[in-house]
A and B are shown apart, each in its own frame.
Chain A
Amino acid sequence: MLIRRAPRFTSSDVTDETLYWSRREWIAGATAALALLPSEATAVVPPGPPLQAARNEELSLREPPTKFEAATTYNNFYEFGVNKDDPSRLGHTLRPRPWTIHVDGLVHKPKTFDVDELIHLHPLEERVYGLRCVEAWSMVIPWIGFPLAALLRRVEPTGQAKYVEFTTLVDPSQFPAQRPGFFGFSSLDWPYVEGLRLDEAVHPLTLLTVGMYGQVLPNQNGAPLRVVVPWKYGFKSAKSIVRIRLVADQPKTAWNKAAPQEYGFYSNVNPQVSHPRWSQATERRIGEFRRRPTLMFNGYADQVAHLYAGMDLRKSY
């Protein structure tokens, strides 16, 4: 039987990339030489430009991060395709610079930012967060960014603003899966729209993210700008954002439109509320062998549970 215990990670697994790249090169070389599975040789992710930020220890998990290779080759990013390796294989088609982001809607000071300007609005920090996918796997990722609240304060939401809506880029020349397939089939209704309630959006944990693993955010992870909402299932954290709009009504979000009974607007990580087709009680941490129990709000209950006081989380799933 192919049973193999996953090795425990050390910090060197994350930081020492020289070794990792030489190994990938060897594999790529050997594979190319054998002319076997040539596509494997191209699945390598080039290391991005470095991006330094001091770690916010207080808001960081004490757990070892997932391997960089795993976090950049095992992704759900349907704009590139429905398979886990599509984003890393096709990520090069996205052009994250130049990039503008419109921040508007129910605000006193709407503004259009260049992404490089936006990055310098607020000091960047590194935060090690848990990422729990709705498909019952999870990772630990050192993100780099600043609180979304810092940006929202700057545009001054009006009293009517109740929700924040994030819109991902629509451009079939950069996102191959946005071209219609057989019989005009499309996996989701583009653009990908996500949303948060305003109090969720300004929560200190909600991170406007521009990097990870000490690097500029790789394309397959949502370059150049995404949000990270660590107590919600991964799909709530919109990627490659071009518009952040403050609105009065609950936004119509992409997965909720595609399968409303499966993906609710809130989609808080909750081991007690099953997905209609599978249990959410346990998860597989990428790199580990055994399943581990899923924690309420992905382990952030102390910080966020009060946001949902009095709500029936079975109904508001």
Chain B
Amino acid sequence: MSRRARLALKAGVWGACLMPLGWLLYRFATDDLTANPISFVTNTLGDWTLRILLASLAMTPLRIVLGLAWPIALRRLLGLFAFFYVCLHFSVWIVLDFFFDWPRMGEDIVKRPYITLGMLGLLSLLPLAVTSTSGWIKRLGARTWTRLHRLAYLAGVLGCFHFLWLAKVGRTDQYWHAAVLALLLGVRLVHAAVRFARKRRRAASTVPA
């Protein structure tokens, strides 16, 4: 893929990932954030955190299934946008929802499992955001860095359970998100199993008779 095509692709991802925020700002400007703006903004930011995180986790399966190389170039950008949205989501919770009522927030983090999971999800994304630069890949070594960045799977699982746990009986969108995550992890699992089997077969065939 040419440099120019790659740039255009990245610009497209930037534009797409900023759209939910733009949409919220537009609704803020037109006084259209529903009767319960804080709840609406929190939920919208949470929804998009999870969707963008799932999009970043979809890049490797796309390469596996379609044999394309370019999705990998977008993985870091998507991951950082997921981190950006989770920071907004968390800030709204602290500032607008609880207005720095630290004891009450602390109590909720400990007592409410869905908030505990959400917090853990946020914390698992933090080292990934910090070590997202090329400098850090060198410093850690590609192998360690890759291992560390498997935390993204954990963040996806925690994010989905956070959503499953908080959703009211009768809703369905939480199941769709979880189903997408299961599919994405399933592709990797099958891929890993196939690779493992192939390796063993190769190893077996090289053993002298």
Contacts and interface: CB of A to CB of B under 8 A. Distances in A.
Interface of A: 1-3, 27, 31, 40, 66-67, 69-71, 73-74, 78, 82, 84-85, 135, 137, 181-182, 185, 187-188, 255, 258-259, 262, 274, 277-279, 281-282, 284, 286-287, 289-291
A279 B35 contact: no
A255 B169 CA distance: 9
Contacts of A137: 36, 39
Interface stretch (B71-79, B96-104, B128-136): B96-104
Given A258-B170, A279-B107, A85 B34 contact: yes
Contacts of A287: 35
Contacts of B113: 277
21 contacts: A2-B96, A3-B96, A31-B30, A70-B35, A73-B34, A74-B34, A135-B168, A137-B36, A182-B172, A185-B172, A258-B169, A259-B169, A277-B112, A277-B165, A277-B166, A278-B108, A279-B112, A281-B104, A284-B36, A290-B99, A291-B97
Q: What is the interface of chain A mostly: helix, strand, loop, or mixed? A: loop
Of the candidates B35, B104, B172, the one having the most CB atoms from chain A within 10 angstroms of its own CB is B35
B95 interface: yes
A72 B142 CA distance: 57
Nearest to A177: B170
Nearest to B38: A284
B104 A82 contact: no
A188 B170 contact: yes
Nearest to A83: B171
A3 B100 CA distance: 13
Contacts of B98: 291
Given A27-B30, A279-B108, A290-B99, A73 B35 contact: yes
A32 to B, nearest CB: 13
B114 interface: yes
A2 B28 contact: yes
B32 A187 contact: no
A223 B168 CA distance: 25
Given A277-B112, A282-B104, A82 B170 contact: yes
